[in-house]
Structure 1
C-alpha cells in the first residue's frame, strides 16, 4: 500500500460492494488504534501520581482500568460513528464538486486508508508511551495524518477514474 496505493485501491474498489467488508476494515483499524493508545494511557496514569503507585500498586490498577475503558469506548464506539459521519461529509463535498464517487467508495477509501496507516499509529503509541509528548510524537502524528490523507485521496481519485471508465 505504501509503494503503490493507487493499484491496491483500484483492486479494492473493483470488487463487489460489501458494507460488511468496509465495516471490518473500520473496526480493524479502530481496534489497532486502541492497542496503539495503551502505552500512552499507561504512561499518563503512571505519571499522574507516582508516589501513590509505589506505595499502593493495586491503586495503579484501579486508576488504569477506567482510563483504558475510556480509550476503548472512544476508539471502538465513538470513532466509528465519527468516521461514518466524516465519510458522509466527504461524499457530500464530492457530489457538490461533481465527482462521480459513490458513498461506498468514499467509505472504503477512508476505512482502508485508516487500516493501512495503522503501523504509523502503532509507532505513535509507542512514541507516546516511551517518549511522551514532544517533537517526536508530533512528527509521528503528522506522518500518520499525511499517510491517511494520501491513501484516502488516492482512493477517491481512483474511484472517480473508475466511474468514468466504460464497463
Structure 2
C-alpha cells in the first residue's frame, strides 16, 4: 500500500497496519518513517515561528527556523530512539518484546500523527496561542498516543519475535 493510505488506515485500524508493516524487517525503512515524521513536524512549526518572528523582532525568523530544524531533525530522532529503548526495557517486565516492532510502533506513531500536527501548526500560526489552537493540538497528541499504544501491543503479541 501507499504510505498515505497506510497513514489513513492507521487512524481506523492501527494494529492491522503495524502487523503488516512489521513483515518487512528493515531498520532503514523505519528510520525513513521517523525522519519523514520529524521533517513534517518541523514544517508544521513554520507558521507559528513566522508569527512569533513578526510579533517580536528581537529574534529573526532564520534563527527560529534554525533552532526548530536542529530540534526536530537532529535531536528528536535520537529522543524517539531513546524512547523506544526505554519502552523496550520497561515492557520486558511484561514478557518477551520484539524490539524492531516496538521501534516501528514508535516511529510509525510519529509519522502517522504528523498530518494532524501540520493542521495544528497552521492553527497556531493563524490563530495564535489559545484555546482554539490547543483544541486542534489535542487530536494530534491523541493520535500519536493511540498509535503508539497499538504499536506496543503489536510488539508484545506472541509470535511477534523473529525466528
TM-score, with structure 1 as normaliser: 0.85
Give the alignment of 1:111-126 within 5 angstroms.
Answer: 111-126=107-122
For 2:92, the equivalent position in structure 1 comes to 95
Counterpart Cα distance in 2 of 1:82 and 1:33: 14
For 1:25, the equivalent position in structure 2 comes to 33
Counterpart Cα distance in 1 of 2:160 and 2:52: 50
CA-to-partner distance for each residue in 1:1-36, whole Å, 9 max, x for gaps?
A: 1122121111011x1321101100000001000100
User: How many equivalent residue pairs?
Assistant: 153
Name the structure where helix makes up a greater proportion of residues. 1
**In structure 2, which of residues 5, 17, 39 is the aligned counterpart of residue 8 of structure 1?**
17
Counterpart Cα distance in 2 of 1:20 and 1:140: 32
Runs of 4+ in 1 over 3 A off after TM superposition: none
Gaps of 5+ in 2: 1-9
Is the CA contact (8 Å cut-off) linking 2:99 and 2:155 kept in structure 1? no
For 1:53, the equivalent position in structure 2 comes to none
**RMSD over aligned Cα atoms:** 1.9
